Amino acid sequence: MGLSRLRRVVPGRVGVFAGSLSAQPAAVQRQVAAEMQELGYGTLWYGESLGRETFAQAAIFLAATSRLVVASGIANIWARDPVAMAAGGRTIAEAWPDRFMLGLGVSHAPMVEQRGHRYQAPVHAMRRYIEQMYRAAWTGPEAEMPPVVLAALGPRMVALARELAAGAYPYFTTTEHVGSIREQLGPEPFLAADLPVVLAEDQATARAIGDRHTCRYLRTDNYRNNLLRLGWSDEEVQGPGSDALFEAIVAWGDRDQIAERIQAVLEAGADQVVLNLITPDPRLPYLEELRELAPLVVDLAR
């Protein structure tokens, strides 16, 4: 059961990563998701690290909207067994047909160990998990599994996404690498690519805001090792990262400059660009940034 197509789900060309929205109260999440839909964004992706349980979070976003696609990005396979994941995915897909994508990932060693598991052989663990999930019995109402997308950076995980999932969702990487992932996936699987975005007039301002984001992920072995594999040096990937690395990963500037970066990622082979909005104050909802960038979404939909 490869789930190689998205079936009737229409995710759109531009999505948004929940990011700092994940820490907001549910009432604020509902407000922002509803406006996101009205502004024309196609998909809201959200993570699962130490925040809300993944299917509960999906329900909050889906109940507040009528068209917006919602995608776990990612649901941690160590947080629930394959049978529970399949049941949760089917339940959400039944309640909100054609509006949910189940993004799965192996997470990171410290987070896995916090849950009492051992982080080892991640590709093997993911293969076994997916196969068990697809075989899981379902005794509820008739409901298909939603499309499954894998968080994938390395070639072995990308190959698994091509074989057993609807596509891949690479996070915190370069546009050039997105192109390589598309080549490995082939033309059919869905490819959503994360793009950190900072609205700023100059590089110094962009880095003052964006370095918080790059520091966080450059401390994480999976992302740092991926960049080393792509040819970046040890010095360049020391947080907050070199100027060249910042330029390669983070889109910054005004709306027109952000549009150019979105277009570059699409031309590299992404079906959807997921805007990861990095703002001066993550405690505030990023509605201003959503509104500023919304015309780009309209232009790409034409």
Q: What is the pLDDT of residues 76-99, one digit of tens each?
A: 999 999 999 999 999 999 999 999
> In this structure, are residues 99 and 15 in contact, taking their beta carbons and an 8 Å threshold?
no
pLDDT digits (tens, 9 = 90+) for 1-48: 344 457 789 999 999 999 999 999 999 999 999 999 999 999 999 998
**Residue 45, φ and ψ in degrees, nearest 5:** -95, 145
pTM of the model as a whole: 0.95
pLDDT in tens, 137-163: 888 888 899 999 999 999 999 999 999
- CA 21 to CA 172: how far, in whole Å? 18
Residue ranges per structural domain of the chain = 14-301
- Residue 243's pLDDT is what? 97
Which residues 6+ apart lie within 8 Å of 281 measured at CB?
A: none
Q: What is the pLDDT of residue 8?
A: 87
CATH number of 14-301: 3.20.20.30
Q: Pick from 122, 128, 120, 121: which is nearest to 85 by CA?
A: 128
Task: For residue 224, give the amino acid letter.
Answer: R
